[in-house]
Every structure is written in structure tokens, then in C-alpha cells.
Amino acid sequence: MTFDLAGWFSLEDRVTVVTGASAGLGVAFAETFARAGSDVVVAARRGDRLGATADAVRSRGRRALAVPTDVSRPEDCQRLVDAAVAEFGRVDVLVNNAGTASAVPATRETPEQFRSVVDVNLHGSYWTAQACARVMAPGSAVINISSVLAYTTAGLPQAAYSASKAALVGLTRDLAQQWGRRRGIRVNALAPGFFASEMTETYTPEYVDGVLRPRILLDRPGAAEELATTAVWLASPAAGYVTGQTLLVDGGLSAT
């Protein structure tokens, strides 16, 4: 049996929605999906930063649309999908990357602080997936961005973040079973370890070198492209028999 290996990893002429696309990993997702052949709709609360991400997509020869979006608002998620369909006629892939974090000790964290994290990380992922699934055709894919902190701890007070990311693992399984047979939509998640992001910029060198890095079996942070290309694989025909799974991309951190 012979087949076009490159074609199995291609997203040529697909339309991908990337949330949290104003900085960091969201930019890497958008640009890497464009390199794989996809047009990209970029979304984030900070709409003033989306232009640069859209330009990065266009520099790869693909079309881009920037839609300012607060994923904690269901009406914003629906407006995002409506804009994508109006511009491109379809949505084939969702990368549910929008997220926020807090580092407040559990005895001092207020209900408002806890809810603000869950509203974005869990509720926002659900509202966006829900809106996308309504228009997705069979063969489409949803990729939720969870975290290694769904499986382990990292020495910081991150109850809201860890709880919301663990909940995404369960959400991924449930949506996969709801939408697999009935709609032909695959739903998976990635659980990144230590990647450079706005959240990790607040980490002190003492924490990174003394607490975090000794637990990483590969002895280095991950490169954004290593996570983004894994997401491309999950969205591509090469992963066509993979659904309901959460893939740890953490350099071995969760194994220690």
C-alpha cells in the first residue's frame, strides 16, 4: 500500500479557529496551522494585538480573520463562529487555547478570583466548542488546551487553574463521545508542560531552575513549535482514528 505521507499531515484549505491568539502559544498555533495549509481565524480579548497574528498567518500565504472575543461570554463565542462562517464558509478545526491563571493561596482566594479563571479556561472552552460544533462537518476536529497541572502539581498555589484544566480533560472525553458517532467530529486535548508564555514570564529563575526544571526529564523548556506541530497532527488526517484523548507534551515532567 502506498499513500501520500505529506498529504496525511496537511491541513490544506481547512479553516481553523484559534482562541487566545494575541500572544505566546496562541500565535505559534496560528502561524503553524497556516504553514500546514489552513486559513486561520484568530480570536482574543485583546483585539489590538490580533493584527500582528493575522499578519503572521498571511505571511505564510494563507487568509486570516481577526475577531476580538471574550470566550467567557457565550454570545462572543457565537459571534466568533458567525464571523468565521461569513468570511470563509466553514469551520474545520478549533484550537481552544484561551486561558488565564491565578496564583493565590487557597485560604485567601476569593470566589471572584476562582470563578474568573474557571469562566475562561473551562466555560470559555465549552462555549467555543459548542458554537463551532454546530457548524462543523464530519471530519472536523476540536483540540482543547489543558495542562500538565491537570495531572500533577508544580509547587505553586494554582487551585483554580489546575481544577479548570483537569475539568477540560473530562470535557474532552464527553464531547468526543457525544460528537464522534453522531457528528463525525473528533475531540482531543493537549496537556502542555513548561513552555514560554505570559504565565511563565512571572516565574522567578529560582523557581524555574530549583523546582521546575529538575523534574523535566528532557532538562529544558518546550519550544512552542513542538506543541503547535503536535496540534497540527491531531487536526490532520494522520490522527483520524484518535479521539477522546489527552496527550501530555511535557518533556517527561508528569513522569517524575
> What residues act catalytically?
161
With beta carbons less than 8 A apart as the criterion, state whether 30 and 82 touch: no
C-alpha to C-alpha distance for 17 and 96, rounded to whole angstroms: 8
Query: What distance, in Å, lies between the first and last C-alpha atoms of the chain?
Result: 41
Q: What is the dihedral of CA 92, 81, 25, 106, to 10 degrees?
A: -120
With beta carbons less than 8 A apart as the criterion, state whether 116 and 77 touch: no
- The dihedral of CA 169, 170, 175, 180: what is its sign? positive
C-alpha to C-alpha distance for 98 and 27, rounded to whole angstroms: 11
Give residues with Cβ within 8 angstroms of 131, minimum separation 6. 74, 77, 78, 80, 81
C-alpha to C-alpha distance for 134 and 23, rounded to whole angstroms: 28
Local structure of residue 192 (DSSP, 8 states): E
